[in-house]
Amino acid sequence: MAEKLAPEKRHDFIHNGQKVFEWDQTLEEVNMYITLPPNVHPKAFHCKIQSKHIEVGIKGNPPYLNHDLSAPVKTDCSFWTLEDDIMHITLQKREKGQTWASPILGQGQLDPYATDIEQKRLMLQRFQEENPGFDFSQAQFTGNCPDPRSFMGGIRSD
């Protein structure tokens, strides 16, 4: 049932009319997907994840991405992998349930409607996690959706 509440599609991060990466999020993670350039050996790529900053590039060249993150992450639980010409970066949110409008601070923000849809989906993920015997995949919110982090005392950590 939880997979029904997974992100339906990835968001595109566009800069100067070009797709830089795709991304999605869950209650606990923000995932970034970067298409790698052809003919570059996988060992040439690097990714440095800091609490509030990310740097991605090819060793010996200026970074492809060198930006502050929208919110802090847990560096000990964040990681990156290369698979099928895609760099997949998993950023573990420091604040579970926080809705990110973009992985990159101040850039490529989702519009208010898309942010509201993300917040509603994350709230349903929270309900599903806290009530595993119920199916929230068809549930809907009318009006404003509460913040998944703080609704009814906040997210349980047990």
Structure confidence at residue 36 (pLDDT): 93
Q: How far is CA 27 from the centre of its chain?
A: 9
The whole-chain average pLDDT of the chain stands at 89
CA distance 129 to 125: 6
- The mean pLDDT values, 10 residues at a time, for the chain of 158 residues are 64 89 95 94 94 96 95 97 94 94 90 88 87 84 80 70
Contacts of 100 (CB under 8 A, 6+ apart): 25, 30, 70, 71, 93, 118
Q: Are the beta carbons of 104 and 67 closer than 8 angstroms?
A: yes
Tell me which residue of 102, 141, 101, 135 sits closest to 121, measured CA to CA. 141
Q: What is the pLDDT of residue 1?
A: 43
- According to the model, what pLDDT value does residue 95 have? 93
Q: What is the pLDDT of residue 135?
A: 86
Question: Please, which residues bridge with residue 110 across strands?
Answer: none
Structure confidence at residue 4 (pLDDT)? 53
The residue assigned the tokens 């797709």 is: 19
**43 CB burial (10 A radius; 0-12, 13-18, 19+):** exposed
pTM: 0.87
- What is the pLDDT at residue 102? 94
